[in-house]
Amino acid sequence: MSGPLAGKHVAVLLGGLSSEREVSLVSGRECADALERLGARVSRVDAGRDLAQVLARLKPDVCFNALHGAWGEDGCVQGVLETLGLPYTHSGVLASALAMDKAKSKAVLSAAGVPVPGGGLYDRMAVAADHVMAPPYVVKPNAEGSSVGVFIVHDGANRPPQDIASPSWTFGDQVMVEPFIRGFELAVGVMNGKAMTVTEIVPVSGFYDYEAKYSDGGSKHVVPARIPTQVFEKALYLSERAHVALGCSGVSRSDLRYDDVNDILVLLEVNTQPGMTPTSLVPEQAASKGVSFDQLVLWITENAYARGDAGGIAHSAETPGQFAS
């Protein structure tokens, strides 16, 4: 087969063990199809506890990590790949672990001068028993993505969310509680340290939850975002700064909120392995800059080959011209 990746064997890691498994299956499928179009020999690997044995048998040239959530995105799988000596896409062990832990990443970002919401970690039973701060506020797991387990407690709410006290709650005994920032939901993709653009997300339901993110018609994406120029530029700058502060590699995505009434812009979190589904934000931003999905997948894959010896940071492939500084 011809193509820029002809002769290369790429293992696409998908599925996995987290609550974001279904999203990962779609991301992995889309990326695997693109890699085949690019000429690569692709092995689709539904990542389980036997991942090290499977990869040792397959001996791929590079791993495309399309996993989302705990274990696949928090440094654990990255550690397995480092041990096996296999190049892999996206961020290394430390950046992945830091970004997944909301409390620790907020501390790092704040120290780097990136404004973040206040709040902190609380015992989930205490949060369910009474308001730990005045509404409106947000309750979320400390180490989950895709808005899994997120609750907004609105003004006038009589009681906190009771689901977090349920025996079926599987997201840890401590939860992040932070003030709710009204206004615009924003996202910025960062590629090789350079911000792409700002997307404004308008959820149909009024809340950008799991369904709004991944269901057809669940949200409307406005590219570029309809915000003042100075706020737009600041969102780009803060996202680039966050990418560097956490030590991210390849592609990341920052999620921000902009309160236009009080002119407050805060960065909520950094996703080190952004979704690569048909409704995902980073591929959409790349397309707005003239970079096709296949070109994006190619760059991410080639970038993985240049993993350095210190910290697993990739710096090889040139950023497509549309994103070059």
* 235, 265 Cβ separation under 8 angstroms: yes
Strands (DSSP E) found in the chain: 9-14, 41-46, 62-65, 120-123, 137-141, 151-153, 174-179, 184-191, 194-203, 219-222, 251-259, 264-271
- Rounded-to-integer distance, Cα 245 and Cα 30, Å: 30
Torsion, CA 92, CA 95, CA 98, CA 99, rounded to 10: -100
Task: List Cβ<8 Å contacts ≥24 apart for 31-36.
Answer: 31/64, 31/66, 31/276, 31/297, 32/64, 32/66, 34/293, 34/294, 34/297, 34/298, 35/5, 35/10, 35/64, 35/297, 35/301, 36/1
Provide the 8-state DSSP code for 320.
P
List residues with catalytic annotation.
20, 146, 214, 253, 255, 269, 271, 275
- Which residues 6+ apart lie within 8 Å of 286 measured at CB? 189, 191, 196, 292, 293, 295, 296
Q: Which residue has the tokens 């206040």?
A: 118
- Rounded-to-integer distance, Cα 146 and Cα 22, Å: 11
Where b means 16+ CB within 10 Å and e means fewer, 262-283 reads: eeebbbbbbbbbbbbbebbbbb
* 291, 229 Cβ separation under 8 angstroms: no
- Rounded-to-integer distance, Cα 47 and Cα 65, Å: 10
Provide the 8-state DSSP code for 88.
B
